[in-house]
Structures are given as C-alpha cells and as structure tokens.
C-alpha cells in the first residue's frame, strides 16, 4: 500500500446512484486528495457525471459493467446473475486482485455480503463474517457488531466478533486496549443463552490481548457508551440498531411538534436556531454512514442505500480511514495475540448461493 | 367482580418503597375512587404512611409480612425464601385466593415472574408467560411483548404472545381487531429463524379471529407505531426496550446541551419553556409505567423499581384498567376463537426454582 488509497466503488448501488455516489466522491476527494477511485458501472451514466465534477476526473478510472443488482434481489439470485459481471461484484473483485485497498457499495446488503464472502472468503480462523456499525453515543462513537451479516451465533462467533471489533476500534479510536462488552439482558441467572456466558468466560481469560473485557452490557449501555465495542448476535444487533433509529426519529418528531405548538415556542425556536441546527447535524444519520464488513480477506464498506452525496462522502471517508489504518493487518495481529482457540458449532461460512 | 376494583400491592417492592408506593396509591385513588388496596409488607413502616395519607385509610387493608425480597436476589432463592411469607408472594396469593382483582409489585422482576408463575400457573394452552410493555409511538401507544419473561422462543410461543398481546390491545385501545406484527430483520431470505416464519404462517391463517395479522415488522416500526402489537422473543424484546430507553435519554441529553450551548439558545429555551415541559412530560418514562405479566391465571403488573409516586400512580392506574376491562376474560375469549393449535417444542413452564 502506497501513500495513495484506492477505493473501488460500486457506482450503481443505492437509490440515488450513480449521481449521489459520484457527487459524494468529489466531496470526499476535497478532504483526502490522495484518494483514487475505480468506479464500476454503466459508462454512459458515469461519464456525464464526471463532466459535471471535473476535479474528480484525474483521480478516477471507470470500468464499464452492464449488470446492476436490484435492491430487492435475493442474495442467491444476485450472486448467480452478478458474479463476474455486475458493478457490485467487480467492485469487490478489484480488492481481491490487489488493484484497490477497499470496496464500497450502497446496494443490497444481503447481495453485497454474499458476493463479498464468496469473492474474498473469510479470514483463516474466522467462521463467519460480521457487519460492524459505528454508533454515536453520549461518550463518543463506539462499535456495535454484528448488525445482521449472520443470523444466529455461537460462543466462537461472539469471540470472533470481539476480536474483529476491537481491531476496528484500534483503527478508529487510536486506543490500544479498547473495552469490549457482550450484550445481554443483564441478569446473572439467564436461561437459554449459554453461548453468551461461554463467550464471556473465554473473553475474561483472554482480556488484555488487544482489548479489555468489560463483561455483560445491557441495551441502554449502547447509548451511554459504556464500552468501545458491543458484541452481539446479528438478529439482535439489527433489531437494536433499527429500534434506536426509530426512537431517535420519534423523539426528533416530538421535538419539532413541541416547538411548533404555540407562538412562544416558535419564537423560542427562532432564538435557538443555531443550537437546534447543531443538534440536527449531530443526529443526522448521514454523518455516520457505513457498515464495515469484518472477517473477510479484504475490506468492504456498505453505505446506506437511501443516502445522498453527504452520506456517500462519509462512507467514502470511512473507507479511506479503514484502508489507511491497515484494518486487515490489525485484525491479523489481534488474532495472533489471542491466547485461546474456541471451536465453533457452525460449519465454515458458505456463500448464500450454495446454501439457499 | 363488582364495581369496586381491589388491587393487591407489594408495598415493599422497589427502591423507594414503601413511601413511593403508598403515596402513589393515594394519587391513584383520587382519580379512581372505587379502588380498594390490600398492602402487603411491614406494618410498622406502612402504618405511619397511612397516617400521612389519611384519605387512603378507608380504602386500605394492611397485611403484615416480615419477609422482603431484595432487588438482587436470584429468582430461585427468592422463591425458596419468600414463598408463603414475603410481601411479594402474598400480594400474588391474594389474586389467587380471589380477594383481589390484580397484583402489583415494583420488586425484583425475575423473582416476581417466578412467584407469579408458581402461584398462579400458566393458563391452559399457554406454554410460557410473557411480559408486555406499553410503548409510546408516533401514532399512539402500542404493545410489545415479550420483554424478557422467557429467553428463547418457538413458533408456538410467538403465536401465544400474539393471542395475549391482542387481548391486551383490545382492553387498552377498545379496538376489536388490533393489528399484530412479528419482529424480524425484514428480509425474506432469513436463515436460522424458521420459528418466526412458522409463526407468521400460523398467524396469516388465523388472522381475523380477534386480531389482524400485518406481517413482519422491523425495529424502526416500533417507534413508528406500524402495528398495535409487536411480537418478539424475550431476549430481543428486552434489548429493544433498553436500547430505545438509552436512545431517548441520549437524544434528550443532546437537546439539553444544545439549548445551553449559547446565550441565544438559552433565551430561546426560556420562550419555549411550556413546549419543552410538554415534551419532557411526553418523554417521561413514569407516565407509561408497568409491564403486564401475560398468560397466567391472574393479572400481575410489574412497576419500574426505581420510580417514584408518579410512576406508581401510573402502574396502579394500569392495574385498575386491566382488571376493569377483564383482561383475563378477553384472553380466554381470544384463545377460544383462535382456529389453529400449534405444538410447542418447549415443555410446559416450570417455575425457576425447579429448574435452577
């Protein structure tokens, strides 16, 4: 890896592609001038946009792909149709081939995970990949994983997520021993979740090798920022993320109604305009955009599909930082330092297409 | 049941007991004058409080219990120590004996669930009890269950929760066919959660018999109020509830900081005082306080343990309404109308003491 970071971009992924993607790239380039882009997608749609954002042109290569994966396509279907031909697949392939340091797409999450797993393969020793979210909290940003890459987990998978998440935390937060917590319902006498308790035992023993194990955390510890890395099974992580998004929107909506409720409150809102705008920016989901696919032999970032150029700019900046801070090396290093081997109950990951 | 509603109260449960409990009862009585209370707990602590709230005295009976269950006691331990002697047990026993219409406690949730299950037993046909939360949303209050009464679920349990939750919705919202959704990660091709898909098939077929089945909902549908009843397994429900609480506190904290950030915003906040106070009341967790234990032969309400008299007043009012609207009859009616029998993979519920 040289000083230059090359990002391989699925220019066709997401609701506002390719315009929002290309526009976002032009914004990202302004802040990180040593970025290079490889855009995969329909030449006839991308070329006019590069005319519109001419500063991007010298930093960009366009690779024409005819096939585009739809947002509602099943992963297995997408893999059959798009392997070797689609903008999504080709974006990932460029990482595998060493042409790019990181790949990004705003397309169909399930399809992207299936293709990334099939193309890049899980890292040696990691049974299944996870998706990490960067979650703003009262203390600072933290990492929560898995957001739903895999449904169902065993102790080995949670331990893997702890290794992956703490490596990501070391990249993002420059902290050599990030704290890790296991998401639980908080009581000691919990039935049916033996795999969480088992993972807790392993992490207690391994604490100190690249992370500090904090213990169990509860749902409200996420917003408090009690630990740097919250580890949970994918179904639960996905529900937690979406419930939090829903709650934030709900409270925001209450606030807007309250401030419109009478003349005095409208006047008050005028006085507080700058503060309320700062609050809006703080709560803007576009500023923290990008799920990090963890545990594969290459970095893939998923942007929200419905976002605009600001959201893509954030996701592209995140991609850049992941590559610059050598995430893959940090994961390998954490795995090497990890003192305990745990057997998984699950078979090694197979891409969706084979099992569906 | 006469016009009078008798509430059996564990006067010793919760951090601020018995003062907050008795004070809350005096507030609840003002609004619902035909309430009668049986307070279970330490006579020497309760008597002086009844002197302080004399309007409560004619509506109250005190039953002395020496034993009090601690907040951190394990359910199995609490059951061994408190069966037949503790204020918590005796509060439930009064419902079993037909002396009271409903029981309430702000004590240890696990202990309360274990005692309620052991004393009242699950209703015929219900494999395991659930805890329902009343959740404020952008549309109106909705019901979400299970909040963690049971960890792990199968299709039969989700179907049970749908029956129980829709009966509760019919009590609370005066709606004869409340909509029911199953919490899921939203994609069609989900691995490992076959029991949710199986429950979906059963509910699709049974839709119309006391509820309308909506389909799968995602985490952000809770805050939107997409359906009247959200059904989920207890671990997930507990994480969703606490994550939402954490997020609401986080956004509230952001808002307070924003309004204090500069002189103009402080002036704005002064103008908007009444609107912001209304918002604070709307977000006050005390106004919606009370988990409803569902699926037992009797109604038990769990109040937040850390709440004050306002919180207890809300939980006591909820208890009153559950009894008045004949929740147990409505559940029985929904079960009778339910056209399909589902076999459970789990054994019939056994109280914690036996299995722990």
Q: What is the 3-state secondary structure (H, E, C) of B286-352?
A: CCCCCEEEECECCEEEECCCCCCHHHHHHHHHHHHHHHHCCHHHHHHHHHHHCCCCCCCCCCCCCCH
pLDDT (tens place) for every residue of chain B, 356 residues total = 458 999 999 999 999 999 999 999 999 999 999 999 999 999 999 999 999 999 999 999 999 999 999 988 889 999 999 999 999 999 999 999 999 999 999 999 989 999 999 999 999 988 889 999 999 888 889 999 999 888 889 999 999 999 999 999 998 888 889 999 999 987 554 555 889 999 999 999 999 988 999 999 999 999 999 999 999 999 999 999 999 988 888 888 888 888 888 888 888 888 888 888 888 777 777 777 789 999 999 999 999 888 999 999 999 999 999 999 888 888 888 888 888 777 776 655 444 433 33
Question: How close A27 gets to chain B, by Cα (Å)?
Answer: 28
Cβ distance of A248 and B251 shorter than 8 Å = yes
Question: How close B172 gets to chain A, by Cα (Å)?
Answer: 22
> According to the model, what pLDDT value does residue B350 have?
46
pLDDT of A339 higher than 50? yes
Domain ranges of chain A: 1-129+289-325
Strand order in the sheet with A60-64: A60-64, A35-41, A5-10, A102-105, A300-302, A291-294, A130-136, A141-145, A229-231, A179-183, A212-217
| CATH architecture classification, B1-125+290-325 | 3-Layer(aba) Sandwich (3.40)
Tokens found for residue B240? 């969703």
**Contact B234/B153 with Cβ under 8 angstroms?**
yes
DSSP 8-state symbol, A178: -
pLDDT of A333 higher than 50? yes
pLDDT of A187 higher than 70? no
Cβ distance of B239 and A279 shorter than 8 Å = no
Which chain B residues are closer than 8 Å to A252 by Cβ? 251
> According to the model, what pLDDT value does residue B151 have?
87
Q: Is this complex scored with an ipTM above 0.90?
A: no
A197 touches chain B (CB under 8 A): no
Which chain B residues are closer than 8 Å to A74 by Cβ? 188-189
* Packing angle, helices A273-283 and B234-259, rounded to 10: 150
Q: Mean pLDDT, to the nearest integer, of A104-124?
A: 94
A346 touches chain B (CB under 8 A): no
> According to the model, what pLDDT value does residue A190 have?
56
Question: How close A194 gets to chain B, by Cα (Å)?
Answer: 11
pLDDT of A2 higher than 60? no
Question: How close A110 gets to chain B, by Cα (Å)?
Answer: 9
Which member of B219, B248, B274 has the closest CB to residue A238? Answer: B219
Confidence of residue A346 (pLDDT cuts 50, 70, 90): low
Question: How close A205 gets to chain B, by Cα (Å)?
Answer: 26
Which member of A148, A240, A272 has the closest CB to residue B268? Answer: A272
Angstrom distance (rounded) from CA B181 to CA A67: 36
Cβ distance of B283 and A254 shorter than 8 Å = yes
Q: Mean pLDDT, to the nearest integer, of A83-110?
A: 96
Q: Name residue B9's beta-bridge partners.
A: B39, B104
Q: Name residue A217's beta-bridge partners.
A: A183
Which chain A residues are closer than 8 Å to B261 by Cβ? 275, 278
Secondary element (H or E) of residue B133 = strand B130-136
Residue partners of B105: CB distance under 8 A and separation at least 6: B9, B10, B13, B14, B88, B91, B112, B300, B301, B302, B303
Which chain B residues are closer than 8 Å to A253 by Cβ? 138
Interface A-B: count of C-beta contacts within 8 A: 225
Confidence of residue A70 (pLDDT cuts 50, 70, 90): very high
By percentage, how much of chain A surpasses pLDDT 90? Answer: 63
Which member of B138, B240, B270 has the closest CB to residue A240? Answer: B240
A174 touches chain B (CB under 8 A): no
Question: How close B200 gets to chain A, by Cα (Å)?
Answer: 17
Q: Which of residues 76-95 of B touch A (CB under 8 A)?
A: 76
B110 touches chain A (CB under 8 A): yes
Nearest alpha carbon to residue B338 among B146, B143, B167: B167
Tokens found for residue B133? 């939360």
Q: Mean pLDDT, to the nearest integer, of A139-165?
A: 92
To probe the interface with A, which of B117, B241, B272, B276 has the most A CB atoms within 10 Å? B272
CATH 3.40.718.10 for domain A1-129+289-325: yes
Confidence of residue A351 (pLDDT cuts 50, 70, 90): very low
pLDDT of A355 higher than 50? no
> According to the model, what pLDDT value does residue A345 have?
67
> According to the model, what pLDDT value does residue A289 have?
77
A285 touches chain B (CB under 8 A): no
Question: How close B169 gets to chain A, by Cα (Å)?
Answer: 21
A232 touches chain B (CB under 8 A): yes
Residue B130 phi/psi, 5° resolution? -135, 160
Q: Name residue A229's beta-bridge partners.
A: A143, A180
Angstrom distance (rounded) from CA B216 to CA B239: 18
Question: How close B63 gets to chain A, by Cα (Å)?
Answer: 31
Nearest alpha carbon to residue A177 among A330, A8, A345, A2: A330
> According to the model, what pLDDT value does residue B122 have?
94
Q: Name residue A6's beta-bridge partners.
A: A36
Which chain B residues are closer than 8 Å to A279 by Cβ? 254-255, 258
- Within its chain, how far is the Cα of A156 from the centroid? 21
Cβ distance of A218 and B242 shorter than 8 Å = yes
Cβ distance of B268 and A264 shorter than 8 Å = no
DSSP 8-state symbol, B67: B
| CATH architecture classification, B130-259+327-343 | 3-Layer(aba) Sandwich (3.40)
Confidence of residue A188 (pLDDT cuts 50, 70, 90): low
> According to the model, what pLDDT value does residue A337 have?
85
Tokens found for residue A160? 């893997």
> According to the model, what pLDDT value does residue B337 have?
85
pLDDT digits (tens, 9 = 90+) for A258-277: 888 888 888 888 888 888 88
To probe the interface with A, which of B235, B273, B285, B288 has the most A CB atoms within 10 Å? B235
**Contact A21/A14 with Cβ under 8 angstroms?**
yes
∠ Cα B104 B105 B109 (to 5°): 125
> According to the model, what pLDDT value does residue A347 have?
55
Which chain A residues are closer than 8 Å to B221 by Cβ? 246
**Contact A244/A251 with Cβ under 8 angstroms?**
no
Which member of A236, A265, A270 has the closest CB to residue B239? Answer: A236
Nearest alpha carbon to residue A237 among A323, A109, A339, A332: A109
């Amino acid at each position: 890896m040289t000083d230059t970071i090359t990002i391989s971009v699925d220019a066709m992924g997401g609701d506002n592609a390719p315009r929002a993607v290309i526009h976002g790239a032009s914004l990202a380039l302004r802040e990180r001038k040593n970025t290079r882009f490889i855009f995969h997608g329909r030449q006839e749609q991308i070329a006019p946009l590069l005319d519109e954002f001419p500063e991007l042109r010298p930093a960009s290569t366009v690779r024409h792909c005819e096939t585009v994966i739809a947002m509602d396509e099943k992963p297995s279907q997408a893999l059959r149709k798009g392997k070797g031909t689609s903008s999504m697949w080709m974006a990932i392939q460029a990482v595998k081939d060493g042409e790019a340091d990181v790949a990004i797409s705003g397309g169909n999450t399930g399809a992207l995970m299936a293709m990334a797993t099939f193309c890049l393969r899980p890292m040696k020793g990691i049974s299944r990949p996870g998706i990490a979210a960067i979650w703003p909290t009262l203390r600072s940003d933290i990492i929560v994983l898995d957001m739903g890459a895999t449904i169902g987990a065993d102790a080995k998978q949670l331990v893997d997520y702890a290794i992956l998440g703490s490596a990501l935390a070391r990249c993002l937060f420059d902290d050599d021993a990030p704290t890790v917590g296991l998401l639980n319902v908080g009581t000691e006498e919990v039935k049916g979740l033996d795999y969480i308790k088992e993972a807790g035992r392993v992490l207690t023993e391994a604490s100190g090798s690249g992370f500090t194990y904090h213990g169990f955390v509860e749902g409200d510890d996420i917003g408090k920022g009690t630990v740097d890395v919250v580890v949970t099974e994918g179904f639960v992580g996905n529900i937690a993320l979406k419930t939090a998004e829903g709650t934030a929107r709900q409270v925001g909506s209450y606030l807007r109604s309250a401030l419109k409720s009478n003349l005095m409150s409208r006047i008050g809102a005028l006085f507080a305009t700058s503060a309320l705008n700062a609050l809006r920016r703080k709560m803007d989901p576009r500023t923290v955009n990008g799920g990090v696919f963890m545990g594969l032999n290459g970095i893939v970032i998923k942007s929200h599909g419905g976002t605009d150029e600001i959201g893509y700019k954030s996701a592209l900046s995140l991609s850049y930082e992941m590559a610059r801070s050598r995430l893959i090396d940090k994961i390998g290093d954490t795995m090497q330092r990890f003192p305990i081997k745990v057997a998984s109950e699950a078979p090694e990951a197979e891409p969706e297409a084979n099992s569906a």
